[in-house]
Chain A
């Protein structure tokens, strides 16, 4: 389950659209299922699946004409490295997701609306700023504060074992 969440995190990070990420996740799963044999050993499975995901993301980007993302080869390699470094870690992904649901309730309505606009509807900082009468920079600062609050709340709940 933890690997499943991490793959979803990786795909979502690559293509930045949670709806498309879920579709791509399904596509990756079906692609792997369709193989007669997995060409790598257990240890290399996670990076190999991320390679499959990246390949499919390339098709997605080309469809979306998001050339700029494709050009960030070096950054994408660093992101892959970041995930590879945590492949062997046991994580609390599931508990963190459960904690997130209640932590979101602890934010004000505006905060939730901003997060919803950014992460559900894929609105950019400028677009959100236009709605709130703020600059893009101010929206990013707000996003940073909201994310920081959520992280603190999730860490707190995890440490108290409230969501396990």
Chain B
């Protein structure tokens, strides 16, 4: 196949518009290593063009905001004359000729910046807000441009709202001190104080970075609060994810709803305040001991677990729950009758209920079977739901019955049986995505192998995976 035809097919594939004959033609062509090289070059050029246009769009937006808030340095010849006069006054001041005659109550002016364009603009200021430029501290006025090496200095309960051309907004609360750096992307240094950040989407090559005396954070687009005081830096993430790193220490990812603290000698660890009610639908309390073990692990994560009997519970019992755990000790007919339409996040360990909740398409696609002690499970490599877990793990310390799922969409399979990978052990569906029955998932849904009796035989590694899933199911989607 000649290169033009190959490029043509790749362009059609880029639009997901290949017909079956074209798809087959492209597959045949890509059997040739030279054609695969063309594919890689093709994707590389497409990505490069796209990112270059993003860069241009950002530059254009930046120029627009600069022109709508002209800075003294962008002056006409007349302004240049005035500036020359100002420079003469500065020279006189340096020579000590002006100091003695300066009235005590005269407001010092902010020195002119060295750069032609501002990095950001002080949109709003309350209380005592000053700008330190060239070693001189002067009161800031709303609308002022902020330049590389400028320092915002806030006393008492002062507040400064700073806006960047890309829409990023940072509120600095007093007492606080924050400096702007020149460089790629938005680079700030928070000496002390608190900032609330609403980061617009940044480019990967130029992320937003904030350094404190103890740590640094790097983000591409998110909302968070960073506080530096008393020898520690605290990060609270409201939306998205932030990379948080102690100086010369380990990096960690802090996601929505989590917080972490870094000190000079302590790496940050992401933590989540978990609370609220989790409803376990199972057998009549006290239920089987396996259910009690499962409930104990959920409680250990910070939740209050309320167990209801499927035969007598009502949908209203689910009100206010963070998520619902359906045990296989629950009576299936009652589940079908009373809890068919669950809109909350859900973890289902009852194989018979899996089709009803759309975890699998048909009745024959799920079931449970006895598994020996030492049975192993393989986790889908790189799946973010179970980040940090080993790729393979031993599930049981003694024989027990385990649930399985067949024919689930590949993207939903989080873990499968080591010896028979066609048997999925864990399924997970993101809110809004298509379930196996084609319906959109009303909230996050997990299909779990955990038979109630297996709760007594599960290994520590197995429990860790289940705890990670519980945390995931109760976390708002990041996208």
Contact = CB atoms under 8 A, between A and B. Distances in A.
Contact of A79 (B39, B53, B201): B39
A58 B36 CA distance: 22
Contacts of A9: 40, 43-44, 46-48
Nearest to B387: A34
A72 B15 CA distance: 13
Interface residues of A, number: 73
A33 B243 contact: yes
B156 interface: no
A34 B253 contact: yes
Interface in B25-67: 26-27, 30-31, 33, 36-37, 39-55, 57
A43 interface: no
Interface in A38-59: 39, 48-49, 51-52, 55-56, 58-59
A33 B75 CA distance: 47
Interface in A78-117: 78-79, 81-83, 85-86, 93, 96-97, 100-101, 104, 115-116
B371 to A, nearest CB: 24
A30 B434 CA distance: 25
A148 B42 CA distance: 10
Given A78-B39, A151-B45, A39 B14 contact: no
A33 B31 CA distance: 35
Nearest to B26: A75
Contacts of B273: none
Nearest to A49: B382
Given A8-B204, A22-B220, A100-B48, A31 B384 contact: yes
B28 to A, nearest CB: 10
Nearest to B51: A18
Given A18-B50, A150-B49, A120 B57 contact: yes
A134 interface: no
Interface residues of B, number: 67
Interface in A123-162: 124-125, 140-141, 143-144, 147-148, 150-151
Contacts of A75: 13, 23, 26-27, 30
Given A34-B252, A58-B411, A115 B49 contact: yes
Contacts of B267: none
Where chain A touches its partner, the secondary structure class is helix
Given A33-B251, A55-B383, A116-B53, A85 B27 contact: no
Given A63-B430, A125-B15, A56 B384 contact: yes
Nearest to B431: A63
Given A63-B430, A119-B50, A144-B7, A33 B15 contact: no
Nearest to B53: A120
A109 to B, nearest CB: 13
A128 to B, nearest CB: 11
13 contacts: A9-B47, A16-B46, A18-B50, A18-B51, A72-B23, A75-B30, A82-B39, A85-B36, A85-B37, A93-B44, A100-B48, A120-B57, A125-B15
Given A60-B479, A81-B36, A82-B40, 11 more contacts: A8-B204, A9-B46, A16-B14, A39-B381, A58-B411, A69-B16, A75-B13, A82-B37, A85-B33, A119-B53, A150-B49
